[in-house]
Amino acid sequence: MKGVFDVTFQSALDVFNYGLVLIYGLFLSVSIAGGCTEKRDKKLVALLCPVFLVLQSLFALTLGTDKTMQLYPLIVHLPLVLILTLALKKPLGVAVVSTCTAYLCCQPLRWGKNAVEALTGSMLAADIAYIVLLVGVFWLCERFLVKAAYATMTYSRWTLLLFGSLPVTYYIFDYATTVYSDALYSNVLIISEFLPTVLVTFYILFLPAFYLETQKRAAAEMQRSMLTMELEQSQLEMDALHRMETQTAVYQHDMRHHLNMLDGLLSAGKPGQAQEYIKEVQADIEAITPRRFCENQLVNLLCSSYTDKAQRQGTVLTVEARLPDALTISDTELCSLLSNGLENALRAVKELPPERRTVSLYCGVQRNKLLIEITNPCGEAVTMKDGLPVSDRGAGHGFGCLSIQTIARRNGGLCEFSCGGGQFRLQVMLPVLEHRE
């Protein structure tokens, strides 16, 4: 009687563990694939547990345990992949790799169970260890594996292929050599050496691939940081220009004091000193007063600033601006576009002969399109890469053109850098409205 009870208890424990590992694999697969947040999706995942348990039980009762194990990929894994793809809207590759990765994470459970059974000689102790390991491994995977695996799979197709190669290979190998045959236990050298070879190959491929991906990510982060710095610098330039505008207003406000001073000098019979005072005041005002090129105050400030800068380096900057006071593009982005373009143009002509130091700027709105064109002579052929001129000033430079391209794309526009006939040309077209809503 005791033996019958032991057999019955062991069978019940086996069924219990069988159900636990199904739940373990199901929830782990969903978590690795990115999880689900919608209430409907959570109910669907919870409903899958009893459905799969019933299906497995029916197959086990009608076809036997061995046949059910052989059909397990069709009973559970394939439906799970389809549900992840069709119902939970996960990419097919992510669904397949997530399912195989969860299957791979079952291996420590089996190894631990076998190790405890070998050490204690007790099947009951092995089953209890299996349950403890199942809970512990699931917690560790949820804590450390899930987010990292999902981020790796969704980073790029290459990382998905790289990360998924090991669990998919193990899945195929395990079923081929233990479920559909006993090749793994037949002492065939080529079979026993296959999986270690795959592990070594994966390790060798993973290291350089991971290094390249981290390098790309670091480069992208550096570009993002440089572009952020470009926008911050544009904001600083705007603030400086607005301070200059404020100072101009102060001078205009103080004009009555200057007039009183002149009146005093003339009344005292000192016309020479009055004339000198007029020249000083006029020079101070001209030095800070922005010229008016169009209705847009920001463009007036920028063009005035760069016209003075061009004059100081012996360059003629010709400006044709036809912009309204308000545009849908932000002032920071407009400042970055113009300042980067003009800065590059002035730098390009600085070393040219005096007669060739010319830069022309056109900016205007036509048919709800902001058009910007900056043209300057160039001394030699400009090297282009991916549509952008390559800077010859070394690392850390050349981000101005990238900033222009990024702003154009962000606003749904186009930009083009071209060189021909001894002239370098920047052309930008952005969809804008003349008034902010």
How would residue 261 be classed by pLDDT, with cut points 50, 70 and 90?
A: low
How far is the C-alpha of 124 from the C-alpha of 333, rounded, in Å?
70
Beta bridge partners of 318: 360
| CA 68 from centroid of its chain's CA atoms | 45
Q: What is the mean pLDDT of residues 336-359?
A: 88
Of the pLDDT bands very low, low, confident and very high (cuts 50, 70, 90), residue 91 is very high
Beta-carbon contacts of residue 30 (< 8 Å; ≥ 6 apart): 36, 45, 84, 88, 98
- What pLDDT is attached to residue 398? 58
Q: Which domains, from first to last, does the chain contain? A: 2-192 (no CATH), 291-437 (3.30.565.10)
Query: In degrees, to the nearest 5, what angle opens at C-alpha 411 toward C-alphas 409 and 414?
Result: 45
Q: Taking residues 247-256, report their average pLDDT.
A: 56
Res 395: pLDDT = 46
Half-sphere CA count of 117, side-chain side, radius 13 A = 11
Which pLDDT value is given to residue 102? 93
DSSP category for residue 429: E
Spatial CA neighbour of 239 closest among 312, 332, 330, 319: 332
Higher pLDDT, 171 or 420: 171
Q: Which residue has the higher pLDDT, 87 or 162?
A: 87
Name residue 426's beta-bridge partners: 374, 417
* 34-69 confidence digits (pLDDT tens): 998 888 999 999 998 889 988 888 888 888 888 888
Q: Measured between alpha carbons, how far is 34 from 94 in angstroms, rounded to an integer?
A: 9
- 354 neighbors 395 (Cβ within 8 angstroms): no
Q: Label the pairing between strands 358-366 and 316-322.
A: parallel
**CA–CA distance, 104 with 389 (Å, rounded to integer):** 49
Pairing of strands 423-431, 369-377: antiparallel
Distances (CA, A) of 253 to 250, 258, 261, 275, 379: 5, 10, 14, 21, 47
Q: Name residues whose C-beta falls within 8 Å of residue 69's C-beta, 6 or more positions apart in sequence.
A: 179
Coil, helix or strand at residue 132: helix
Chain-centroid distance, C-alpha 23: 34
- Kindly list the distances between the CA atom of residue 199 and the CA atoms of 25, 85, 204, 209, 269, in Å, as whole numbers in the listed order: 22, 28, 9, 15, 100
Two tokens at 181? 């045959």
Q: What is the DSSP letter of 69?
A: H
Count of Cβ atoms closer than 10 Å to residue 334 Cβ:
24
Tell me which of 142 and 303 has the higher pLDDT: 142
In this predicted structure, what is the pLDDT of residue 322? 86
**pLDDT value of position 196:** 74
Token duo for residue 395 = 């690392």
Pairing of strands 369-377, 384-385: unpaired
228: tokens are 């952020």
271's CB contacts (< 8 A; 6+ apart) are: 265
Helix axes 297-312, 194-253, angle to 10 degrees: 90
Mean pLDDT across the chain, nearest whole number?
Answer: 79
C-alpha to C-alpha distance for 143 and 155, rounded to whole angstroms:
20
- For residue 94, what pLDDT band results from cuts at 50, 70 and 90? very high
Burial class of 225 by CB neighbour count within 10 A (0 to 12, 13 to 18, 19+)? exposed
C-alpha dist (Å) from residue 170 to 93, 112, 179: 16, 18, 13
